[in-house]
A and B are shown apart, each in its own frame.
Chain A
């Protein structure tokens, strides 16, 4: 007997409203695994919108999780800015040479036109196809890089630090162009059918930036940017730590926050209760070698720590499950949620 009384979308909206749905919603944030489903190389898979839409639909059917994920890979944005993408056979594409070679380049940087960027048009097309197929059954989660985190790919990490500390005016200028792009890109995805936008902002995590600096930089950027995005957002720290800043992140107007496996989930939940939904926090890297028993225990423990009262979506802690994580682990996660995730026994 199925105990489900809600669609995935209803389940997710209920938990985002800090109420308990029928069971704990879970997001398997799978990207490259779609290529395995379609028997393609990673590069071939991402070359067509249809592949990604089909891959997402098939994976949801297989694992029964509560979303579709229209994320291709982070460097898709750098590609739009004129950068290159380097594919790999067994991992996510990476960004190539930085597009900002010297600080002076920032002065002439122009916001890419989304309609003129084939790589972004492809993502929008995939979103549209998914929306047509899934309708209001499950949410489609779109992705943007935060204007504050994108520069690592635009100019390299150490150059970006130098900019932040030595060139405040150029830093602000870079934030302004990136904010413009981020808002356009998020709104285009929402228009194409995305239900919510995951705002990836690991540079704001306490792993990279301490709270006082965050409040002067990433926090202000997020407040300005999220206010202009025409739909719900989730802020993801991509497995960077966030406990010292979760309350601040909640203040940026985001509906959920993605947290690291290196943090005490109970404490995170306590800090977020009724303010913002917790998304997390299974260790995606370690998951590769989890046994079925361990998988069940990890899922059960996360649910016990964070599910009460709603405001919790179970997922991995990075916002993308590595290519090397095998099928049986993903299946075991799904089974464990369907075993331990019910809110009230009938």
Chain B
């Protein structure tokens, strides 16, 4: 067991380096070699997720560029799609989940979180850019149990309140997880708008979703 953990640490470091270099070829090579020895889901949990969390953390600390975070997410998403196809039972047995950008025309934050979650083995819908009405409608229609909302502008963050109220009126119990710049700058804002949770970065998003999934299980 110990040997395995040691190997994973080394592997994680190499994998992380490949991502930071935006070197998809090197990342693929590490994945192919590792998957000869372990199950894909093990690789995802022990190598991909920690690497993405570390990269998100390092970005928070100002050590690496946003472009590296973005590219890492995309590369991992692509790689994981090849080993854990979207219809894989490991993905589909989870509660229905989706992500959306509320009102805003800017979707980089949403894309990063979407890719990171998919690269971590979760399946989720991308609703794109939606208004309050549309988000409520789609939440009901898809019977979503977890809705992630990403915003960039403060007014959009405040509009989450309407989403929460409207869903409550319709007796929908979906968990609302919010994120984006306004929630990073005002740490009480997520509670003010009635969300169930928030996250400041990739690592947070993964932790929060993991926790909610466990509570639902």
Which A residues contact B (CB, under 8 angstroms)?
Answer: 86, 88, 90-92, 94-96, 157-158, 161, 164-165, 206-210, 213, 239, 241, 243-244, 261-262, 283-286, 288-289, 322-324
Which residues from B are CB-within-8-Å of A91? 153-156
Per DSSP, chain B at the interface is helix
Q: Which of B147-190 contact A (CB under 8 A)?
A: 153-156, 158, 181-182, 185-186, 188-189
Within the complex, the shortest CB–CB distance from A330 to chain B, in Å, comes to 16
B108 within 8 A of A: yes
Cross-chain contact of A285 among B22, B70, B108, B186 (Cβ < 8 A): B186
Alpha-carbon distance between A210 and B65 when the two chains are bound, in angstroms: 5
Asked if B81 is at the interface (CB within 8 A of a chain A CB), the reply is no
A88 and B105 form a contact (CB under 8 A): no
Chain A residues with Cβ below 8 Å from B208 are none
Contacting residues, chain B, for A164 (C-beta < 8 A): 67
Q: Which residues of A contact B87 (CB under 8 A)?
A: none
CB distance from A207 to the nearest CB of B (A): 7
Contact of A210 among B22, B63, B188 (CB under 8 A): B63
Whole-angstrom CA separation of A286 from B106 in the bound complex: 22
In-complex Cβ contact of A208 among B22, B65, B111, B153 (8 A) = B65
Interface contacts (Cβ under 8 Å), in number, total 72
When distances are taken between beta carbons in the complex, the residues of chain B under 8 Å from A213 are: 65
How far is B71's CA from A262's CA once the two chains are assembled, in angstroms? Answer: 25
Asked whether, in the complex, the Cβ of A241 is within 8 Å of the Cβ of B62, the reply is: yes
Known contacts: A165-B22, A286-B186. The answer to whether A324 contacts B63 by CB under 8 A is no
CA distance A86 to B103 in the complex (A): 11
> Is there contact, CB below 8 Å, between B155 and A90?
yes
Q: Is the CB of B71 within 8 A of A161?
A: yes
Q: Does B104 contact A (CB under 8 A)?
A: yes
Q: Within 8 Å of chain A (Cβ to Cβ): is B136?
A: no
Contacts of B64 in A (CB 8 A): 210
Given A94-B105, A165-B67, A210-B63, also A283-B185 (CB < 8 A): yes
B62 touches A207 (CB 8 A): yes
Residue total for B at the interface (Cβ-Cβ under 8 A): 26
The answer for the CA separation of A234 and B49 in the assembled complex, in Å, is 41
Is B83 engaged at the interface, CB distance under 8 Å to the other chain?
no
CB atoms of A324 and B154 under 8 A apart? yes
* B182: chain A residues within 8 A (beta carbon): 285
* Main secondary structure on A side of the interface with B: loop
**CA A95 – CA B106 in complex, angstroms?**
9
CB distance from B176 to the nearest CB of A (A): 20
A92→B154 CA distance, assembly (Å):
10
How far is it, in angstroms, between the C-alpha of A228 and the C-alpha of B177 when the chains are bound? 47
Check A94–B153 contact: CB distance below 8 A: yes
Asked if A209 and B65 make an inter-chain contact with CB atoms under 8 angstroms apart, the answer reads: yes
CB of A207 within 8 A of CB of B66, answer: yes
Assess the A157–B185 pair: CB atoms within 8 A: no
Complex contacts, B66 vs chain A, CB 8 Å: 161, 207-209
Least Cβ–Cβ distance between A209 and chain B, in angstroms: 5
- Asked if A96 and B62 make an inter-chain contact with CB atoms under 8 angstroms apart, the answer reads no
Nearest CB on B from A48, distance (A): 23
The chain A residue sitting closest to B66, CB to CB, is: A208
**Minimum C-beta distance from B47 to chain A (A):** 24
Question: Are A161 and B70 in touch, CB under 8 angstroms?
Answer: yes
Closest to A95 in B: B105
Across the interface, A157 reaches (CB within 8 A) one of B65, B106, B158, namely: B106
CB-defined A-B contacts under 8 Å, sample of 17: A88-B153, A88-B155, A91-B156, A94-B106, A94-B153, A157-B108, A206-B62, A208-B66, A210-B62, A213-B65, A283-B186, A284-B185, A285-B185, A285-B186, A286-B185, A288-B186, A322-B154
Shortest distance between the CB of B161 and any CB in chain A (Å): 13
Residues of B within 8 A of A94 (CB): 104-106, 153
Are A323 and B155 neighbours in the complex by a CB distance under 8 Å? yes
List 7 tightest A-B contacts by C-beta distance, closest first: A91-B155, A285-B185, A161-B67, A206-B62, A157-B108, A286-B186, A208-B66
Report whether B108 and A158 are in contact in the complex, using a CB–CB cutoff of 8 Å: yes
Docked pose: A283 CA to B62 CA in angstroms:
19
Residue of B nearest to A324 (CB): B154
Within 8 A of A (CB), among B101-138: 104-106, 108, 111
Contact digits for B180-203, partner A, Cβ 8 Å, 1 yes 0 no: 011001101100100000000000
Which residues from chain A contact B185 at a C-beta distance below 8 Å? 239, 261-262, 283-286
Instruction: Evaluate contact between A86 and B62: CB separation under 8 angstroms.
Output: no
The answer to whether A96 touches B105 (Cβ under 8 A) is yes
